[in-house]
C-alpha cells in the first residue's frame, strides 16, 4: 500500500505466530480461548490476503506419543505451510525460525504466541536484543493466569516491544478506508471482527435494503499474494511475498 504513514506497513513487517496449538491452549486462562482463537485466525487471514510474510512455529507438535498440531483455523489459511516444530520454548533460538525471518529482509516483527509469559516473551526479548522492532499482539496471545499474561506484557514493553491488538494491526496496515487493500479485508472483518463486524453488517443491510446508497469508494479487492515460503519442508513455514 503506497503512502502509508504508519510504523507498520504491508511492505515492512513480518507476522510470527508461536505455538498456537490445542494442548498449549488448554493452559490458557488469562482470556477466553475461543476469542483468542478467533482473533489469531483473523490476523493470520489478513496477513495472507495482504501478502504479509508469515512464519508459523510449534513446540512439541511431533516426536512423542501424542501430536499437537497448530490450530486448524490457522492451518486452513496456510494449507501448504508446515510449521517449524521445536523442542525448546525459545523459538527465536531455533535456526530455521531465524532463517525464515531473515529471508524476508524485514526488521519489524509482529509476534503473538502461547503462552505469553514463556514462549512469546522469550522470543520477543531475544528479537529486541538482536536489533528487531517488535510489536506483540496481546489479544492473539494468552497466559496461564491473567497475572502471568499481564506481567509478561509489562516485561516485553519495558524491554522495548510495543503492545497492539489484532484490529489495530489491520488498521496500521490499511489506514485508508478507500484503498483496495482495506477493501480486501472486508470478509475477514465481517467474519472475525466482533462488534466491528456487527457495524459493517448493519451498514451493508441498509445498502441491501435500498435505504442508502453504496459508498462511492468501494473498489475491487487486491488479489491475495501467492505464498513464497522461505524455510524448511516441502512448502515451508514462511508465507508471503518479501
Measured distance CA(185)–CA(71) in Å, rounded: 21
Our CA angle for 31, 138, 175, nearest 5°, is 125
For 30-56, b/e burial (b = at least 16 CB within 10 A) is bbebeebbbbbbbbbbbbbbbbbbbbb
Phi and psi, residue 115, nearest 5°: -90, 160
Residue 131's contacts (CB-CB under 8 Å, 6 or more residues apart) are: 107
Measured distance CA(16)–CA(137) in Å, rounded: 10
Active site residue 119: yes
Pick the catalytic residue from 44, 119, 120, 169: 119
Helix (H, G, I), strand (E, B) or coil at 157: helix
Phi and psi, residue 133, nearest 5°: -85, 125
How many other β-carbons are positioned within 10 Å of the β-carbon of residue 198?
11
How many residues are recorded in the chain? Answer: 242
Measured distance CA(36)–CA(20) in Å, rounded: 10
Residue 82 near residue 52, CB atoms below 8 Å: no
Alpha helices (H) along 130-179: 146-159, 166-173
Measured distance CA(170)–CA(8) in Å, rounded: 10
Active site residues: 119
Amino acid at each position: 500500500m503506497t503512502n502509508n504513514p504508519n510504523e507498520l506497513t504491508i511492505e515492512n513487517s513480518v507476522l510470527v505466530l508461536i505455538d498456537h496449538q490445542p494442548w498449549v491452549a488448554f493452559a490458557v486462562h488469562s482470556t477466553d480461548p475461543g476469542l483468542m482463537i478467533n482473533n489469531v485466525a483473523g490476523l493470520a487471514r489478513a496477513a495472507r490476503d495482504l501478502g504479509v510474510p508469515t512464519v508459523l512455529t510449534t513446540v512439541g507438535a511431533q516426536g512423542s506419543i501424542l501430536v499437537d498440531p497448530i490450530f486448524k483455523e490457522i492451518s486452513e489459511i496456510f494449507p501448504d505451510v508446515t510449521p517449524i516444530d521445536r523442542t525448546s520454548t525459545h523459538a527465536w533460538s531455533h535456526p530455521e525460525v531465524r532463517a525464515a525471518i531473515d529471508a524476508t529482509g524485514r526488521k519489524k516483527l509482529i509476534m503473538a504466541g502461547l503462552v505469553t509469559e514463556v514462549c512469546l516473551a522469550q522470543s520477543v526479548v531475544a528479537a529486541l536484543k538482536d536489533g528487531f522492532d517488535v510489536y506483540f499482539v496481546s489479544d492473539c496471545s494468552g497466559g496461564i493466569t491473567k497475572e502471568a499474561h499481564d506481567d509478561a506484557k509489562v516485561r516485553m514493553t519495558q524491554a522495548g516491544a510495543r503492545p497492539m491488538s489484532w484490529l489495530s494491526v489491520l488498521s496500521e496496515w490499511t489506514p485508508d478506508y478507500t484503498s483496495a487493500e482495506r477493501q480486501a479485508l472486508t470478509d475477514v472483518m465481517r467474519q472475525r471482527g466482533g462488534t466491528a463486524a456487527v457495524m459493517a453488517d448493519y451498514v451493508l443491510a441498509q445498502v441491501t435494503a435500498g435505504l442508502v446508497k453504496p459508498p462511492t469508494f468501494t473498489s475491487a479487492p487486491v488479489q491475495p499474494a501467492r505464498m513464497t515460503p522461505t524455510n524448511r519442508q516441502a512448502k515451508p513455514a514462511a508465507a508471503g511475498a518479501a
